[in-house]
Structure 1
Amino acid sequence: MTTQQDRSHHLVDALATPASDVVPHPALDVAAPPRARRQGLDKIVFGVTALLAVAFLVWGFVSTGSLADASGRALSLVMDDAGWLFVLTASGFVVFVIWLAASRFGEIKLGRDDEEPEFRTSSWVAMMFSAGMGIGLMFYGVSEPVSHLVTPPPGTGGADGAQAVQHAMATTLFHWTLHPWAIYAVVGLAIAYGVYRKGRLQLISAAFEPLLGRHANGGWGKLIDILAIFATLFGSAASLGLGALQIRSGLRIVSGIGATGNAVIVVIIGVLTVAFVLSAVSGVAKGIQWLSNINMVLAVVLAVFLFVVGPTVFMLNLVPTSLGSYVQDLPMMAARTGAEGTKTKDWLGSWTVFYWAWWLSWTPFVGMFIARISRGRTIRQFVTGVLLVPSLVSVIWFCILGGAAMNLQKTGTDIAGAGALESQLFTTLDAFPMAKVASVLVMVLVAIFFVSGADAASIVMGTLSEHGTQEPSRGTVIFWGVATGAVAAVMLLVGGEDALNGLQSITIVAALPFVVVMVGLAVALVKDLRSDPLMVRRKYGEEVIEAAVIAGVTEHGDDFVLSVEPTDATDPSPAAAPQVSP
């Protein structure tokens, strides 16, 4: 019993140890103090990534054709040799975060044990949703369901009628519900846990301390942060490019100016880049939260408008149909790879693998952003909120916008053949009352999504460039904001007439190195959680109770009780150890 009493005594000392403001370790003897952060710019991380960004921009503007050729060859290589990696890891992250939430780790808080959430749930959901996929929902809300309806995805047998609608919606939800948010959740959990529970710096590299030890603060850590900035730059630029394409399409339709060239896209990107730089330097509370809440209201207005004037009953029927089809088709969709043939490989490059690469490239900034706004929530609350709430909103969104478009397509209005993907939403709106007003609303929504998403991205890239500070300097934020807009313009120019193809190709290639980082991050997080104070406390408690029960049965048979009693301070016996009484 001496060993057991020693363990219990250590537990009492641990519980009596004051926790620091940032890092509570109530079951350990000494609470680690918050890490000291170096001030100013990380010259290596910022210098290398800035140099790469500038080199890419020079290459793109000076020799667009050669960059287009290089990106095309790189895309073919990635799809041939690593397409399976995107498919496997994306589904793996879904299983991983659900397991974390359902396991004993789900009770761990992202902060002190007694800490309350920093933001209200409504604002929390609005901010992470707007930053996570705002522009994409506007761009693909109509175009993806209609595209899959007209051209059924591989493996669906070329179904038509009701089955074609089901497969189209199932594929759309596969790309927009659990998978992207599970990918975001991995980074969000790792960063929030490390910063608010362990007192680490707000860096992707800091989350690797359980695996790399001191090397996480050295060369390997800098490489990880460089890859994170690089992925963020191209992932957010892809989103800005989609937004610019859709705004240009809206201007054509609303103003009747006719065909426009790439110069208009560059001007649109320039104007919106100035807007999001101004928003970014105002900070999270004043900038992103304000814009996110406005966008949520406008998005609801658009959805309600289409729900009322559109085929309401068809949309309502589509909700259970889509969910059932998604569950039924999920194994087939998750297993679809380039091994099924060239046609499937090309399709994956335009849809599934592009999406997984896009989400992966967004994880550094979306993950760090939702980590920053999720302090005080448990892992179970975090995963539940991040996984289910945006997924449910996506289901409703696609059933309304996609349902309106598919109903028009089935009844004789050719939405799919009316123009490029970015114009199909406007073509759909044109079939309903107040089309011009609704189209202007769409452009405003896209512009604000553009600003709020790029806002968050430039702040996070600034954070990674300045040793993890939560308030990067304005100069750094402005640099990354301007760089993101410029990269978006180059990516569009690389695609030529098919600007979307340029966005997709470069996004997939740029995201590949970060897949490996994400896998390592998941492993490091589990290793961290196993030594969490709550886990240590539970282990101590189980040992104490088990030893006490053994002692009670040995000394008294079945006739004993366990109780916790105070003791004299001079008494060497542990104050919180269970006492065995006959």
Structure 2
Amino acid sequence: MCKISIVFWISLVIAIVFVAWGVIAPVQLGKMMDQTKAFFLDSFGWFYQLSATFFLVFALFLIFSRYGRIKLGRDEDKPSFSRPTWFAMLFSAGMGIGLLFFGVSEPISHYASPPVGEGSTAQSAQAALVYTYLHWGFHAWAIYSVIALILAYYKFRKERPGLMSTTLSPLLGGREKGAIGTVIDVVAVFATIFGVAASLGLGAAQINGGLHYVAGVPNNFTVQLIIIAIVTVLFILSASTGLQKGIKYLSNANMILAVILLVSILFLGPTKFILNMFTTTLGSYIQNLPSMGLRLAPFNKEQAAWIKDWTIFYWAWWIAWAPFVGTFIARVSKGRTVREFMVAVLIIPTLVCAFWFCVFGGAAIFYDYYKGADIAGQPLETALFHVYDVLPFTGAFVIVTLLLITTFFVTSADSATFVLGMQTAYGALNPPNFVKIIWGIFLSASAIVLMLSGGLNAMQTAIIVSAFPLTFVLVAMAFSVLKDFKKEIPPKVHSKKTKRKKEKEEPEPKLT
């Protein structure tokens, strides 16, 4: 029988206190979170920028290093899932609801209020997509891929519990089994809770926005509460069926629906404009990646505020999601090599995300710029549905989108309950159902509390604060795994060519 760790009980008590505080005094909690968010953004924006860049550099190093042939498992292990299924599972967990919520709303928002220059111009249109690629591209997937790789390496090759603390054994030398390890795992649990709770809040808001737009359903907190309650039951049922059934089938269904939606908008919308924009903006993104990824604008308060609200928030969000997404991707990646894993998880999702945002965001920008549709003036949660207004088959698009948001909602949440179960049950690959159900309830409760305490602003605060201590853990994990990689493949002191040259230069021994 699977044992429950002390991390579970400590995390559960803290979660109960947080939810109770939000229910009893939501206004007070909201004010405290506003002050906390301002402090962290003003004081540590540079820290999040440098940390995200570090993970990208480290990921590229692993791809081209001699460690690329190390297998995530025993040398004879084969992958547990086919590549298409593996990709669908990591992608559904890795981005989920955010692709639909921000697919139109982020590019159109940057188009109207760009980081530099005037809004609603041809220049701001290109900058909008380039910065959206930045937020959802290489940096995000570098964070995910590095953490997932480390967790998979220690779980399947070293055969150790799938916990964040376990990966630090080369640096801590056994102390990870005590109080230090418990603190590390509790930090990972709460980063996961707040990171996923924010996504659930966004999903509920967009489902409500879609229902209001289509059927006139009131767009308010009560309806969003009902939506979260219904979806909570769905994802708990899915999580209790296990990885091989519930999450696997829903992930594949997500990918099919997402591809149908993507292709339909590409060919029914301004196809030529979208493809031209994708080619242009992808090149600009790759060309300007280093400078954009480290930009803070210390001499311009307006630009600095934009970077804090968008770029810094995203780095914190991806870091907060790293234990959840990393653990889940690691769980389904047994048998891959380091190089295969890093290339697949870093490059392919980045390109897919860029194309996704160009199709949805590019279409929105086209209709706003050329056709006069006021998409930029719409709320974030309903901007996507206004794009459908200028396309044929509006009703079908809305239905597919609401269904896709719901299934993304379910896959993100049931993946999170699975991961939280692992983190609080000594890294068990199949945590007990009652543990997953408890965490499913608290995930939804945390989302409700954050919405009650300040909506998106409160969600951003929870993410930024929880990501701060976790960042130190993640960076330490990178250095930790390098120590073990060096033991597996020690550096070559001399190449064969150097060895032959040395033998040739040595004088032959004289015969006596």
User: What TM-score results when the alignment is normalised by the length of structure 2?
Assistant: 0.95
Q: How far, CA to CA, are the matches of 1:132 and 1:287 in structure 2?
A: 17
Identity %: 43
**What is the root-mean-square deviation of aligned Cα atoms in Å?**
1.9
Equivalent-residue separation in structure 1 for 2:237 and 2:83 (angstroms): 26
What residue number does 1:191 align with? 151
Deviation per residue, 1:148-196 (Å, 9 max, x gap): 111111xx33376332221111100000110110001121111111111
Structure 1 distance, partners of 2:19, 2:89, is 30
Structure 1 counterpart SS, 2:426: coil
Matched, 1:470 2:429: yes
Aligned with 1:417 (options 377, 389, 413): 377
The residue number in structure 1 matching 2:331 is 372
Counterpart Cα distance in 1 of 2:302 and 2:484 = 43
Match of 1:319 among 273, 278, 299: 278
Is the 2:120–2:369 Cα contact (8 Å) retained in structure 1? no
Which secondary structure state, in structure 2, belongs to the residue aligned with residue 295 of structure 1?
helix
- Following superposition, the deviation at residue 333 of structure 1 comes to 1.6
Corresponding letter in the other structure for 2:481:
L
Output the amino acid matched with 1:149: Y
Deviation of 1:48 (Å): 1.2
Which position in structure 2 is the counterpart of 1:41?
Answer: 4
CA contact (8 A) 1:280 1:456 kept: yes
SS of match in other structure, 1:351: helix
Aligned twin of 1:525: 481
Code of the residue aligned with 2:301 in structure 1: it is T
For the 8 Å contact 2:112–2:119, the answer to whether it is kept is: no
Alpha-carbon distance between aligned partners in 1 of 2:364 and 2:258, rounded to the nearest angstrom: 17
Residue in structure 1 matched with residue 168 of structure 2 by the alignment: 208
Q: Which structure carries more relative contact order (alpha carbon 8 Å, separation 6+)? A: 2
Q: Secondary structure in 1 aligned to 2:173?
A: helix
SS of structure 1 residue aligned to 2:427: coil
Deviations 1:15-61 (A, max 9, x none): xxxxxxxxxxxxxxxxxxxxxxx94111x211111111111100001
What 5-or-longer segments of structure 2 have no aligned partner? Answer: none
Residues 218/490 of structure 1: CA separation in 2 closer, same or farther (3 Å cut): same
Q: 1:261 aligns with which of 220, 225, 235?
A: 220
Q: CA deviation at 1:539?
A: 4.5
Aligned-pair CA distance for 1:546: 6.8
The 1:160–1:249 alpha-carbon spacing in structure 2 relative to 1, beyond 3 Å, is closer
Distance, in Å, in 2 between the alignment partners of 1:46 and 1:307 is 46
Cα displacement (A) at 1:507: 1.6
Deviation, structure 1 residue 87? 1.1
1:238-265 C-alpha deviation (Å, 9 max, x unpaired): 11111001000011011123x4321111
1:546–1:317 CA distance, 2 compared to 1 (3 A) = closer
C-alpha contact (below 8 Å) 1:357/1:511 kept by paired residues: yes
Mapping of residues 339-358 of structure 1, within 5 Å: 339-358=298-317
State the alpha-carbon separation in 2 of the partners of residues 72 and 40 from structure 1: 39
Equivalent of residue 70 in structure 1, options 19, 23, 32? 32
Counterpart of 1:329 in structure 2 is: 288
436, 457, 477: which is aligned to 1:501? Answer: 457
Gaps of 5+ in 1: 1-37, 558-582
* Structure 1 residue 547, shift from structure 2 partner: 6.4
Q: Point out 4+ residue stretches in structure 1 off by more than 4 angstroms.
A: 542-557
- Alpha-carbon separation, structure 2, partners of 1:161 and 1:148: 11
Hey, what's the Cα distance between the residues in 2 that align with 1:79 and 1:492? 21
Choose the corresponding residue for 2:46, options 62, 80, 84.
84
Corresponding position: 1:492 with 2:455: no
Q: Distance in 2 between matches of 1:470 and 1:305?
A: 38
Matched-pair contact (CA < 8 Å) for 2:195–2:320: yes
Asked whether the equivalents of residues 137 and 350 of structure 2 are also in contact (C-alpha less than 8 Å), the reply is: yes
For 2:499 and 2:279, locate their aligned partners in 1 and report how far apart those are by CA, in whole Å: 53
Quote how far apart the aligned CAs of 1:548 are: 7.8
Separation of aligned partners in 1, 2:353 and 2:83: 18
Higher gyration radius (CA): 1
User: Do the aligned residues in 2 keep the contact of 1:207 with 1:524 (CA within 8 Å)?
Assistant: yes
